[in-house]
Structure 1
């Protein structure tokens, strides 16, 4: 009995770790935005969102795992395809879109404390990436940092914001286009922008490393991976649902919002007043640091294996510096052109994934 309880605890920690690696900037800002825009059609839009932001990413993790890495899977189709396509994906989830998005999103939640000057933005960004680098220094230890500490704290803080909003805000308003005429497909497209499908192509390597270094993974690696993925998927779907419903609780102040970060901030302020500022700031800081650490670890691990001349830590610091530079562009600018790229690359990634679904090698028990 004690052995089963210990195994369950280890697996829950791993599940929270994978959830924390996925749940960052895009996940926090897109679900409330979807809820505010879809309003009365929020449940239909949420179904499409969960398909591309939960079900498909978790499926990607499970399909790729037996191959050890997505590069190995794609190389079976055509040898050069693996390194070429995965390098593109790692750059997208690295310094091009996802990594700078974590810094800009979290920084937007601290504008009440940080003056809007170039020096202040640079200072905050350097501190943010410094903390993320410290978390990513030992990729095999992410389970202890994200699964046991920052992940559970993040979940508690999200509940503190969302639950009171559900009881204090007005009823759900009418939907706006394109959620009025095509709520499911609009939610589907919004789910692409979380970048979780692409991130899943990369997270498998790091989560397998954590599973193999855990006692649960030594007992049964295949079962542990499956349970880890299911726990992460359940947490993602539950939090997305809560954030979407929170966004559906509209009021007049949301009309001027241009992204989900502003919506969540205003909704929290309507309930918690001035205390909402540090509360929302901590939520975004934890979520974005967790994901940034996971992304930095994945990118550094991949490129250290691809180009062995430079060590894991060298690549880690290189991507952190690139992230600092890219993040100074601003959140709205990153979201504007990032969505166009993702709407093209995500379907291609899914088509390539289907080829790996067949003739998969077996994982050890």
Structure 2
């Protein structure tokens, strides 16, 4: 029997996806992008929306088309060990090493750090992150409660607070974005730099990881047919991600116009705090602290649940609760290293993982064209791995990038990899691998179809 979901349930799914994707990086990176792009904010926005919005939507569509239940299933055509390693790397990045700790350090940095003496900030972060991850663990302990908690309670509260800041900025603008300063990097490559800034949100990786969480929530609506689950995932994903796109545009514009009143900041969190204080004073500081905490709390819940679900599925001898506790505990430890260190060390990892994720997403969407042939997957992924490694080296922290081996590799890539200096060294290799894979697939299929005819002629 055909079952369909109501509009209300599609909105709830969209709200679930929105709440899990929109958090720490989604608040600070668009604003900082606006400041860097200045008058070219629209071009930079185009690139940012491509990697920060379109790619996550494509990831959800890839999961829908392949009917995968997560990262492992989507990467499985590349082989068991590749799929398992990719799963571990993505979840380590989204989990306790980078993204999940960032969900605590970002709201603390932009909402609380400036009100605490500098020499006591480590104590403040320690207390804040302990409470933060305690709440994350408590709310995430029961898998079935995540849809209600994120979709019905926290998201509306978060959206109302963010809308208040946007309304005030619309009534009394900070200035015209078209007359603001453009940094050197964005004068000639605004779109490509905006695209690369979208990596920092980690949303394409998160969309792959949240596949299992979204499908679990959708199945709770009594949809058992795989095709129905896939369609509901795609529709709900579109609702949630379009909402994120609209907020990105507003945040980038705020960042660009803020240059009329504030100087370029080290990160978007500082700028957000300045904007909130400009419009609302001390109340604005409190509003932003609450907004950031609520927004990042929803993202942290989605991250730790997806981590625990996927790892419990792959290693069933360890319970879901233990994986959940491990993630929250390690994230608490890493968070206390500080926001700047987390961002610095996450960049090279993202430059390595994102090209692999992008090609995997495209392969998943295009898989009906070549019947999910492993040859296409392996050639595309194998060739993409090469420039992705060089991109990682090129974005190492300064102390490592300056070493002789790293400089030798960077110079080598600069001479032989097209678009390497723009951060797109993987593009030509990925396209070449995909083209070779398709050619091989159709050639082998043609040979297989003609073989019986030739055998019959000989007989």
Question: Which TM-score band applies after superposition, normalised by the shorter structure?
Answer: over 0.9
The 3-state SS of whatever aligns with 1:206 is: helix
Closer, same or farther in 2 for the Cα pair 1:309/1:47, shift >3 Å? same
Q: What's the TM-score once normalised by structure 1's chain length?
A: 0.93
Aligned to 2:238: 230
Say whether 1:150 aligns with 2:149: no
Deviations 1:288-334 (A, max 9, x none): 10000100001111111122221000110111010011001111121
Across the aligned residues of Structure 1 and Structure 2, the Cα RMSD in angstroms comes to 2.1
Quote the residue 1:105 is aligned against.
Answer: 106
What's the secondary structure of 1:180's corresponding residue? helix
d(CA) in 2 for partners of 1:252, 1:64: 44
Whether 1:202 and 2:202 are equivalent positions in the alignment is no
Mark the runs of 5 or more structure 1 residues left unpaired by the alignment.
none
In structure 1, C-alpha distance between the alignment counterparts of 2:116 and 2:57, rounded to whole Å: 37
Partner of 2:389: none
Other-structure match for 1:168:
173
1:1-365 map, 5 Å: 7-65=6-64, 66-108=67-109, 109-114=111-116, 116-166=120-170, 167-172=172-177, 173-214=180-221, 220-251=228-259, 254-255=262-263, 257-359=265-367
Equivalent-residue separation in structure 1 for 2:345 and 2:187 (angstroms): 24
**Closer/same/farther in 2, CA of residues 254 and 335 from structure 1, 3 Å limit:** farther
Moved more, 323-332 or 59-68: 59-68
> Secondary structure of the residue that 1:170 maps to in structure 2?
coil
Judged with a 3 Å threshold, the aligned counterparts in structure 2 of structure 1 residues 217 and 54 are, in CA distance, closer, same or farther, namely farther
Is the CA contact 2:174–2:261 (under 8 Å) kept in the aligned structure 1? no
- 1:250 Cα deviation after fit: 2.2
> 8 Å contact 1:7–1:215 — kept in the other structure?
no
2:23 and 2:296 in contact (8 A); partners too? yes
In 2, distance between residues paired with 1:206 and 1:11?
A: 15
Displacement of 1:113 in angstroms is 5.0
- Taking structure 2 as the reference length, the TM-score comes to 0.74
In our comparison, the structure showing a higher alpha carbon Rg is: 2
Between the aligned partners of 1:260 and 1:158, the Cα distance in structure 2 is: 15
CA offset digits 1:42-76 (Å, max 9, x no partner): 11100100000111111111212312222022122
1 CA distance for matches of 2:350 and 2:303?
17
The list of structure 1 runs, each at least 4 consecutive aligned residues, that deviate by more than 6 angstroms after superposition, is 216-219
Deviation string 1:250-273 (CA, Å, 9 cap, x unpaired) is 246532521001111101111111
Structure 2 residue runs of 5 or longer lacking an equivalent are: 373-459
Aligned residues: 359
